[in-house]
Amino acid sequence: MHEWSLAEAVIATVIEESIKEGLEEITKIKIKIGELQQMDTEIFEFALNEIAKVQDVGLLLSEMRIEMETERAILKCGVCGKEWAFDETGLGEEEYEAVHFAPEVAHAYIRCPSCKSPDFEIVQGRGVLIDYIKGSGK
């Protein structure tokens, strides 16, 4: 699953940032998940915990709490300025799957509801971001 590869990326980032900041134990991370990415948050959280368990860089992750916030995907037309929500677009199943793999692919399937332009911007809710990492160090 795609959720696993992004979970792996999140844990790698948590480890790298924590080392940089001199943290030894991570207590909490907050992740923002853009709706456009079409993530299964249950699988994602499970994957995060599983991957955190097997990391072996001496960082304490066993008490790490994971907070997730899903961000609604908003698109904005670059031609007429219309703003609309991704969940109003009604894509087919295959298209949803394609967008899940690479959210930019939305440009192949979505058009501005008011002027039909494919020249829109993803204002928010694109993909996975780590909002913050909390922990304690030396």
For residue 20, give both structure tokens.
Answer: 């940089």
Judged by CB under 8 A, the number of residues near another protein is 36
Tell me phi and psi for residue 126, to 5 degrees.
-80, -60
Considering the rule CB under 8 A, would residue 102 count as an interface residue with another protein?
A: yes
Tell me the C-alpha distance between 58 and 53, whole Å: 11
Contact of 36 with 84, CB cutoff 8 Å: no
Please, which residue, 113 or 118, has the CB nearer to another protein? 118
In whole angstroms, the minimum distance from the beta carbon of 80 to Zn ion comes to 3
Contact of 1 with 103, CB cutoff 8 Å: no
Contact of 78 with 120, CB cutoff 8 Å: yes
* Per-residue contact string for residues 84-113; x = within reach of Zn ion by CB under 5 A: ----------------------------x-
Residues that bind another protein (CB under 8 A): 1-2, 4-6, 8-10, 12-13, 16-17, 21, 32, 98-99, 101-105, 107-109, 118-119, 121-122, 126-133
Give the footprint of Zn ion on this chain (CB under 5 A): 77, 79-80, 82, 112, 114-115, 117
